Amino acid sequence: MFNTDTISRFKQLETPFYYYDLNLLKQTLQACTSAAAQYNFHVHYAMKANFNPKVLEMIQSFGIGADCVSGGEVKAATDHGFAHDKVVFAGVGKSDKEINEALDRDIFCFNVESVQELQIINDLAKAKNRTASVAIRINPNVDAHTHHFITTGLEENKFGVNTWELPAVAEALAKCPNLQFIGIHFHIGSQITDLSVYKNLCIRVNELQQWFEDHNLAVKVLNLGGGLGVDYYHPDEKPVCDFESYFKVFHDFLDIKPGQEVHFELGRALVAQSAALISRVLYVKNGLKKNFLILDAGMTELIRPMLYQAYHQIENLSRPVNGQQPVVSEEKGSLLTTHQSLLHYDVVGPICESTDCFRKDVELPESFRGDLIAVRTAGAYGEVMVSGYNLRDRVQSVYSE
C-alpha cells in the first residue's frame, strides 16, 4: 500500500487523513464479483461500512446492489447511482419517514424485523397506493464466534424475528394486501473468519425455508447477509478476502430451489483493507515503565479500538523496517537504515479521554515528533464513525489516484 513516492506525498499533506488505495479496492471488487458470478449469486454492498463518495462510485460501477440500514443510506445509494431495484433496506427501527423515503424510491425489498413493522409498512404503502416487497429477517440462533458487540444472530440479540414468532408473521402477511412476501433474510454477525459458521447457517436456513414453503409462502429470495471477516493482523499478506471459499460454502450446503435467488450483503470484506488512517506523532513521552506516542488522530477519527477493543496494525512510515527503503527523518534530517532499535509504545490520541488509545505495548522503531504513523485496515467502520467531539476538525480523505 505504501511505497517511497506515496510516503513522500504524505509528508506534504496535513494530517490526520484517510488514505484510500483505489487500486486495491478495484482488485477486491473484481475478486468478489467474479467469485459470486460462478454461482449466479447477487451481492449488495453494506453501506454502513463506508460511504465515502469515491468508494461508492467505484462499488456501484461493478453493478453491485446496496444494503442500507437508514433512510439516509437509501438516499445516498440511489443518489450515487446504485440501481433502485438492487437496494435493500434493513434495520430494527425504521421510522415512518425512512419507510416513506424507501417507498418513494421504489427499492427492491424491505428486510423486516418484527410483526409490527409488517403492519406499519403495509399501512404506509397503502397510503401511497403501492405494494412493498418484503423479506422476513429471522434470528436463526447461530453463534458467529465473533466479538459479542458485533454478534447479531443469537436469541439474546435485538435483531430479527424469533422462530416462535413465525406463525404470527404468516398471519400478518395474510392480512397485509399491500405487502408482497419474496423471501427470508439472515445476518448473524460481523468479522467472521471461521467459514464453518456459514455451513451451520446454511443448515438452519434450509430448515426455516421449508417452514415457509409448508405454509404456502413461496421463498423467491434467500438473503444470507454478510459478515465475512478480514485479516487485521497481516494486511499486506492477505489484502483480498478469499471470496471463492466463502461463496463455495453456500453453493455446497444451501438447498437452493429452482428459480430462487441467493443474495449477500458484504461490507467490511469489500472495503476494510483499502484504507489506512495516516497521522503524525505530536509528542513522545518516555517513562520508567511506559513510553507514549501521542498522535494527532484519536478516537474522533477512528473509534473501533476504543469501542470494541478492535486490533489494527500500526506502522511508522518514517522509519520503515523489514527491508523497506530507508527514508529521511523529518526530525533529524538524516538517512535512516532498517537497523534501528525497537521500543514498545502505547499509541494514543489527543482526546481528553483515558480510553483514547489505539493500542498498548506496540513494538515500533524508536519514534520521534513528526513521524508519519499508519493505522492499517481502516476502510470499514472508520471514516463513517468520525465524530466532532472536542470540536475537532473533520478528517480529510486522500486517494491513490
Would you say 115 and 165 are in contact if contact means Cβ atoms under 8 Å apart?
yes
The confidence score (pLDDT) of residue 144 equals 54
Q: State which fold the 22-271 domain adopts.
A: TIM Barrel (3.20.20)
The confidence score (pLDDT) of residue 332 equals 45
Intervals of CATH 3.20.20.10 along the chain: 22-271
Would you say 64 and 35 are in contact if contact means Cβ atoms under 8 Å apart?
no
Banded pLDDT at 34 (limits 50, 70, 90): very high
The confidence score (pLDDT) of residue 153 equals 39
Provide long-range contacts, Cβ within 8 A and 24+ apart, for 349-354: 349/294, 349/295, 349/297, 349/298, 349/299, 349/300, 349/301, 350/282, 350/294, 350/295, 350/296, 350/298, 351/298, 351/299, 351/300, 351/389, 351/390, 351/392, 352/390, 353/299, 353/306
Instruction: Please check the confidence at residue 337 and state whether its pLDDT lies above 60.
Output: no
Average confidence (pLDDT) over 183-192: 94
Intervals of CATH 2.40.37.10 along the chain: 4-16+273-399
Report the percentage of the chain scoring pLDDT > 70. Answer: 91
Average confidence (pLDDT) over 64-93: 97
Bridge-based pairing state of the strands 342-348 and 357-365: antiparallel
Banded pLDDT at 288 (limits 50, 70, 90): confident
**Domain 4-16+273-399 part of CATH 2.40.37.10:** yes
Average confidence (pLDDT) over 154-168: 80
User: pLDDT for 358-385, tens place per residue?
Assistant: 999 999 999 999 999 999 999 999 999 9
Banded pLDDT at 158 (limits 50, 70, 90): low
The confidence score (pLDDT) of residue 401 equals 79
User: pLDDT for 105-135, tens place per residue?
Assistant: 999 999 999 999 999 999 999 999 999 999 9
Task: Show the cell assigned to 243.
Answer: 471470496
